[in-house]
Structure 1
Amino acid sequence: MLLEAKNINKQFAKHKALDDVSISIPENSIFGLLGPNGAGKTTLIRIINQITAPDTGEVLFKGKPLKREDISRIGYLPEERGLYKKMKVGDQSIYLAQLKGLSKSEAKERLKYWFDRMHIMPWWDKKVQELSKGMAQKVQFVTTVLHNPELLIFDEPFSGFDPINTNLIKKEILDLKAKGTTIIFSAHDMPSVEEVCDHIALINNSKVILEGNIHSVKEKYKENNYQISYTGDLGLDEPSIYKTLHTKITDYTTDAVVKIVEGRKNEMLRLLADRVNVKEFKEIIPSMNEVFIKAVEENNALSI
């Protein structure tokens, strides 16, 4: 594991921000850190970045306790963006790069590459206050990744981007992972989480309520529902095998969603083969959005 948070607790006054939180982030993965607003995600990110300290628990980086000097190996793009509005874009980018340990000449060379790549080179001599929100976010994305950190933390990286720039940043994130970078990706946009993440942890009410490989997590929440398209008369008269949830007839083809009794899928297939001409038969796997809602609702119900 590249990074592990073990039994992290953090309290602010009377508010328990994190309650015995543990997560394990595999090396060279994109790890989705999910949860409703106020669940504790940002507090955990701040602890990993050593902006604040846990009351109890520890953070391990490559199996050793995280130290102050390890921060140079981390890049952090916070949800709350912040650039000096009166400075020129190029000057500020060089300044931020030098804070990460790059020389001025090295910073200029890397910035030119990234500014060309992100289509923002014409803004080099403009003041930050002249940038649109999306342009400013591109600049901050570049300054976050510039020093080639081993771990990148993106908190709502697509906030405020139009679809074209969202796709651009998404491709860059996947490319960084392909080059060996480990990424923590905190977002509310579940389709993006589903598209880029390998693993996820879901925090709710200050606790981790779900963690694992994204495929395994989705498999856990499937409900034996199947999409069937067919021609002919199925009859829909076998309640001991399945329950019809939805049907629709289009151009003489029936599309049905059914819930099959666990362990009786093969029986259902035999029934279909005997009665109708099957066009499609596939299991319905829940989306991450559906998993998120169901897991949080179940956890909230237990907390009442």
Structure 2
Amino acid sequence: MLSVKSVSKHYSGKTALDQVSLQADPGKILGLLGPNGAGKTSLIRIITMITAPDSGEVFFENQKMRQELISGIGYLPEERGLYRKMTILDQAMYFGRLKGLSRTDCMAAIRHWFDKLEMSDWKKKKLEELSKGMQQKVQFVLTVLHKPRLIILDEPFTGFDPLNAEIIKEEILGLRDQGACILLSTHRMESVEELCDDITLINNGKVIIEGEVNEVRNRFKKSEFELVYTGTLKSGLPGVLERKDTALRDGATHSLFVMQKDAAINELIQEVMKQAHLLEFREKIPSIKDIFIERIGAQL
């Protein structure tokens, strides 16, 4: 669906993107991650043909990206750009027609989304009369109104309260399930794990991590295990290099064990069960947030 191949971009001698490549597929959500200034926005602007790369190419549906293909893309920019003095209905009609919808199809799509997101009661209000969260709903609807095959969302949850953020998450997942290819750029790491199938992490204009979310998490695990138990565990347990205990309110203890790479985990479990009453035992898999902080921090 979307293929970025060896894209580079420079601004006033500064490298914004350095040989960046990524692949986003239909029916999946690709998380585009990175700290401020990493190059995410520069990449999105190149994909949407707002700016041109210095080198490299972008392909959409097996065709080199060109202006005629842009109507198949829905783009929600981080910097919102709606007309504050125009009514919500008029804006939706304007943007839908701009994306190639007939007046009849546009009106049907508007009715569908306004009803679905409970926006019908304020369709004749001007944008400036709405709260920030309501304005965000409008921007989201205008992004997906024309059923784009590629949807690019740059910080889509900004301005939403938790309830409306959940509603938009469900809509994003619904669009994915309908076959849309979605590129999601966000700083909310919990949203990445909830929504994304794959991630691409950029720092200093370069791709430093890419892959399927669970595969990436497993790639960075560190032979750490978490236990919850009652009773007492002696030191010197087999294979344990480091141990951190935390008392819990119910009288149980939570322990984090850092294990030797070749440790026999079954042997450890057996020894723990001899000494204490084991309630929980699980391998600690780092979150995407943990990995983000570790890898970005290592490059500062």
Length-normalised TM-score, structure 2 = 0.96
- Could you list the per-position Cα deviations for residues 256-301 of structure 1 after superposition, in whole angstroms to 9, with x for gaps in the alignment? 111111121233123223332211101111111111100111233x
Alignment of 1:98-113 (within 5 A): 98-113=97-112
Alignment of 1:96-175 (within 5 A): 96-175=95-174
Identity %: 46
Which SS does the other structure have where 2:86 is aligned?
A: coil
Tell me which residue corresponds to 2:244: 245
- Could you list the per-position Cα deviations for residues 93-133 of structure 1 after superposition, in whole angstroms to 9, with x for gaps in the alignment? 10111000011222111101100111111111111111111
Tell me which residue corresponds to 1:91: 90
CA distance in 2, matches of 1:229, 1:254: 6
- Asked if structure 2 preserves the Cα contact closer than 8 Å seen for 1:29 and 1:197, the reply is yes
Q: Give the aligned residue type for 1:103.
A: S
Number of residue pairs the alignment of both structures matches: 299
- Greater mean deviation of Cα atoms: 228-237 or 156-165: 228-237
Alignment of 1:224-239 (within 5 A): 224-238=223-237
Offset at residue 249 of structure 1 (A): 5.2
Tell me which residue corresponds to 1:286: 286
- Asked if structure 2 preserves the Cα contact closer than 8 Å seen for 1:209 and 1:299, the reply is no
Which SS does the other structure have where 1:147 is aligned?
A: coil
CA distance in 2, matches of 1:102, 1:58: 29
* Residues 1:273 and 2:250 are matched in the alignment: no
- Asked if structure 2 preserves the Cα contact closer than 8 Å seen for 1:260 and 1:268, the reply is no
Which SS does the other structure have where 2:176 is aligned?
A: helix
CA distance in 1, matches of 2:42, 2:91: 27
Which SS does the other structure have where 2:44 is aligned?
A: helix
Structure 1, unpaired ranges of 5+: none
Say if 1:48 and 1:249 are closer, same or farther in 2 by CA, change over 3 A. Answer: closer
- Could you list the per-position Cα deviations for residues 50-75 of structure 1 after superposition, in whole angstroms to 9, with x for gaps in the alignment? 11110000112233322221111110
What RMSD over aligned residues (CA atoms) do the two structures have, in Å?
Answer: 1.4
Q: Give the aligned residue type for 1:21.
A: V
CA distance in 2, matches of 1:126, 1:3: 37
Offset at residue 250 of structure 1 (A): 4.4
- Asked if structure 2 preserves the Cα contact closer than 8 Å seen for 1:8 and 1:58, the reply is yes
Say if 1:19 and 1:239 are closer, same or farther in 2 by CA, change over 3 A. Answer: same
- Greater mean deviation of Cα atoms: 70-79 or 237-246: 237-246
Tell me which residue corresponds to 2:78: 79
* Residues 1:194 and 2:193 are matched in the alignment: yes
CA distance in 2, matches of 1:159, 1:99: 25
- Could you list the per-position Cα deviations for residues 156-178 of structure 1 after superposition, in whole angstroms to 9, with x for gaps in the alignment? 00001111110110010001111
Which SS does the other structure have where 1:286 is aligned?
A: coil
- Greater mean deviation of Cα atoms: 223-232 or 8-17: 223-232
Which SS does the other structure have where 2:253 is aligned?
A: strand
Say if 1:113 and 1:240 are closer, same or farther in 2 by CA, change over 3 A. Answer: closer
Tell me which residue corresponds to 2:69: 70
Tell me which residue corresponds to 1:55: 54
Tell me which residue corresponds to 2:262: 263
